[in-house]
Chain A
Amino acid sequence: MERIGIFGGTFDPIHIGHLITAQSLLEFRKLDKIIFIPCYLSPHKRHIQNSDPKHRLEILKLSIQYQKQFSYSEIELNRGDVSFTIDTVRELKKQYDYIDLIIGFDNLIVFDSWKEPDELFKLTNVVVMKRIIDKEIEYKHKYYEMAAIIKSPYVELSSTYIRKRVSLNLPIDFMVTYAAKEYILKNNLYR
């Protein structure tokens, strides 16, 4: 049985921090594959205009091209608008029996507000990435106990920071892959 992990996000753009985290999860959870799923609209930033999905996807493809255990799905981009994770999981369940649903620690805090959280636990293993900077939480709802919380590497880097550096004509070497950097510059993104 193939063991997959699904890793959602805006990926605007995907950076080295995402890739290091994914690689670490792949090893720690003994997964066969990690599927990156770029969202059309971020549920937490739906009010902010993301870059064209076409560019986000292309940068993602270029960034993971040499890691055969990394893959991607356009499922949420094709759906458009804000996607509910449960809908994505149900779709992927048609293909995969074993799914690790990888989420950030902030998402665990509000997991009880997600659509059909109990169903998500039935269909997947919810794996929470806790970085060294994530503080312990005060309110622990029932999902806190049910989730697998794993220590994840902390790379102090964000997509917002990268976009800002590009807009200021500052280099982004080593923050994104070489191919991603070339694509961003060639297409004049984030200016």
Chain B
Amino acid sequence: MISLTDIFFVVPYPIYNKEFCTPYSNFTKADSSFLYVTLLRNLYEIFSSVFPKEALMLCLHENDKDILSADITSPFLSYKTFFFDTDTFTNDFTSLFEKRNLDAKNFIFVHPDFVGLTPQDILQILDLLQIEDDVLVLKKSLHSKVELFATNKFQNEIPHLLHKKNFVGDSSLKKLCGLDYQLYKLKNVLSLAHVNDFKELYKMLSQKENYSCCSQRIHDRFTHLFIEYKELL
């Protein structure tokens, strides 16, 4: 089951390239980049604990290409990483999909700007994908934005529904849900979209029951930001 699943991390805007990175709240561009990369690394780590690295695919923005290639500390250098231009995102994504693992039966698409996912959540998603029906599993943020969706039936419309800025916007979600799937909505996650989310992140990571949401290494990276922006807490 695990080897039959492909996971796509979709970040359709620059996060490594500080020059083009959209600032989060009043963060500097450098710290915003640090935050977004930490969120991505965290989810990548969590998925890596369940899946082999060959199943994980990173879809990043073209503007991150040179920066990431120069970052020898990045764990992503040797993995499957693809770069997309904003204007040709859908076409590029479609052609990536045509080259996908043809044995894969399940697909998980992740917009890695959130925390709150655990390895147990991933196993639960896999359990749902094993159901005989055509299944669509959604994880949304507290702001009702889709952060992850998984399916056991790939449809050609899917790459067209991944918006270049919003991952899955409301209209795309409507179309996606209209594709006659059995729909399961799981517990919400915390996305870092608004300034208050940073405070929520601090509260969340302070609770013992959320320790499985990130490793100590990732926790230390977040702590660096909590110290730097303590006025937001």
- Give A contacts to B, CB under 8 Å: 44-48, 106, 109-110, 112-113, 133-135, 137-139, 141
Given known contacts A47-B174, A47-B177, A139-B123, is B185 in contact with A109 (CB within 8 Å)? no
28 A-B pairs with CB atoms under 8 Å apart are A44-B182, A44-B183, A45-B182, A46-B183, A47-B183, A48-B178, A48-B180, A106-B133, A109-B124, A109-B127, A109-B128, A109-B131, A110-B186, A112-B187, A113-B184, A113-B186, A113-B187, A133-B132, A135-B130, A137-B123, A137-B127, A138-B126, A139-B120, A139-B121, A139-B124, A139-B126, A139-B127, A141-B124
Q: B123 and A47: CB pair below 8 A?
A: no
Q: Least Cβ distance of B84 to chain A in Å?
A: 29
Select one of B124, B133, B177 contacting A110, CB under 8 A.
B124
Q: A138 and B127: CB pair below 8 A?
A: yes
**How far is it, in angstroms, between the C-alpha of A178 and the C-alpha of B45 when the chains are bound?**
56
- B residues in contact with A46, CB < 8 Å: 183
- A residues in contact with B120, CB < 8 Å: 139, 141
Number of interface residues of B (CB under 8 A): 21
Q: Least Cβ distance of A7 to chain B in Å?
A: 18
**How far is it, in angstroms, between the C-alpha of A134 and the C-alpha of B178 when the chains are bound?**
25
- B residues in contact with A45, CB < 8 Å: 182-183
Q: Least Cβ distance of B187 to chain A in Å?
A: 6
- A residues in contact with B124, CB < 8 Å: 109-110, 138-139, 141
Q: Least Cβ distance of A134 to chain B in Å?
A: 8
Q: Least Cβ distance of B7 to chain A in Å?
A: 16
Q: Least Cβ distance of A1 to chain B in Å?
A: 35
Q: Least Cβ distance of B185 to chain A in Å?
A: 7
**How far is it, in angstroms, between the C-alpha of A139 and the C-alpha of B123 when the chains are bound?**
5
- A residues in contact with B133, CB < 8 Å: 106
- A residues in contact with B180, CB < 8 Å: 48
Select one of A47, A48, A110, A112 contacting B128, CB under 8 A.
A110
Q: Least Cβ distance of B3 to chain A in Å?
A: 14
A139 and chain B: residue at smallest CB distance? B123
Contact with A along B169-204 (1 / 0, CB 8 A): 000001001101011111100000000000000000
**How far is it, in angstroms, between the C-alpha of A41 and the C-alpha of B184 when the chains are bound?**
14
Q: A47 and B178: CB pair below 8 A?
A: yes
- A residues in contact with B184, CB < 8 Å: 44, 106, 110, 113
**How far is it, in angstroms, between the C-alpha of A112 and the C-alpha of B123 when the chains are bound?**
14
- A residues in contact with B187, CB < 8 Å: 112-113
